[in-house]
């Protein structure tokens, strides 16, 4: 994959036309504040691609947004069967185009098409692929920081790939302080909900556990309408934390001694699913008990 960057306006226009001539544009697959995603067919290979066109707008004065630069840099390094492949990049003032491999759906849409929860076999298979992909990210010192069903792409109901690395970043030791404005709130771990800026790969594993449970139940575990509401939903199902069970929790910036005191209920259905999901998210256990050597 080679990124195209140019100097003059004339070369910009010529290069953009040459770039787009490589593809036949199709339907709009999605649209948002970032721009839109088009279905495109590569003239050379005949394969369909997902073309993400980002209008930089007012940000163009400051250059390409850091999230886009980060996504390109990370995906160039992460070549794995369970991570979406970035195939081409085109950049000009005010516009950035990323070309990805095209998959049929995402996990959220796929579950909705099946009426909610997945079969035990599908949960096991997709969980293995999710864990394999995120293990590869962590082994290469990358935290995704935004795992959710919408960011997991599904192809033909059998293949799962991790996508959307806009919030991802490389980590190092010692762990520096990061922003806590990461991870969609339903999948955000409690320490970040309570204001911690010191975190590492476990934030992804919390997201994995929540996603595994959602695949099994057909509904999000902690569907709060705000950060505090999501935290309270965690408290209601798993108990309000205290210094006895979580030393240091009272020192987190947004922890309040006046929080309602819910008791842990080990018989609660959601608690059972979450315990199972986090146990399943232990890769060694998953590999040796659910996936014998040689299995998919």
Which candidate in 88, 106, 125, 146 is catalytic?
146
Q: Determine if the peptide bond prior to 174 is cis (ω within 30°).
A: yes
DSSP 180: S
Instruction: Find residue 38's DSSP bridge partners.
Output: 28, 51
Residue showing tokens 């369970």: 82
Nearest to 75, CA basis, from 66, 83, 67, 63: 83
From the CB of residue 144, how many other CB atoms can be counted at a distance below 10 Å?
28
146 belongs to the catalytic site: yes
Which pair of structure tokens corresponds to residue 45?
């290979």
Nearest to 125, CA basis, from 133, 114, 115: 133
Which pair of structure tokens corresponds to residue 159?
């293949």
- Contacts of residue 66, defined as CB under 8 A and 6 or more positions apart, other chains included, come to none
Assign 106 to helix, strand or coil: strand
Nearest to 78, CA basis, from 126, 144, 172: 144
- What is the rounded distance in angstroms from the CA atom of residue 189 to the CA atom of residue 200? 11
Q: What are phi and psi of 109, to 5 degrees?
A: -65, -40
Query: Could you list the active site residues?
Result: 146
């Amino acid at each position: 994959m080679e990124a195209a960057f140019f100097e003059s306006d004339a070369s910009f226009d010529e290069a953009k036309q040459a770039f787009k001539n490589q593809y036949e544009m199709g339907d709009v697959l999605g649209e948002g504040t970032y721009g839109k995603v088009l279905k495109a067919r590569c003239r050379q290979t005949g394969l369909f691609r997902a073309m993400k066109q980002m209008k930089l707008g007012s940000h163009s004065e400051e250059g390409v947004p850091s999230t886009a630069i980060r996504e390109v840099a990370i995906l160039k390094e992460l070549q794995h069967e369970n991570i979406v492949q970035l195939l081409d990049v085109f950049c000009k003032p005010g516009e950035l185009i990323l070309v990805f491999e095209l998959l049929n759906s995402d996990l959220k849409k796929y579950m909705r098409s099946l009426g909610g929860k997945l079969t035990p076999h599908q949960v096991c298979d997709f969980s293995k692929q999710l864990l394999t992909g995120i293990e590869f990210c962590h082994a290469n010192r990358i935290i995704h920081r935004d795992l959710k069903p919408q960011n997991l792409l599904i192809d033909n109901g059998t293949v799962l790939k991790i996508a959307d690395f806009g919030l991802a970043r490389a980590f190092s030791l010692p762990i520096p302080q990061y922003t806590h404005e990461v991870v969609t709130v339903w999948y955000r771990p409690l320490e970040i909900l309570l204001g911690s800026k010191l975190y590492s790969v476990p934030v992804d594993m919390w997201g994995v556990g929540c996603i595994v449970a959602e695949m099994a139940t057909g509904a999000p575990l902690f569907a709060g309408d705000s950060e505090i509401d999501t935290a309270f939903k965690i408290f209601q199902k798993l108990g309000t934390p205290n210094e006895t069970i979580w030393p240091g929790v009272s020192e987190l910036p947004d922890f309040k001694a006046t929080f309602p005191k819910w008791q842990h209920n080990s018989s609660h259905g959601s608690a059972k699913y979450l315990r199972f999901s986090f146990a399943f998210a232990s890769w060694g256990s998953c590999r040796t008990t659910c996936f014998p050597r040689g299995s998919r």
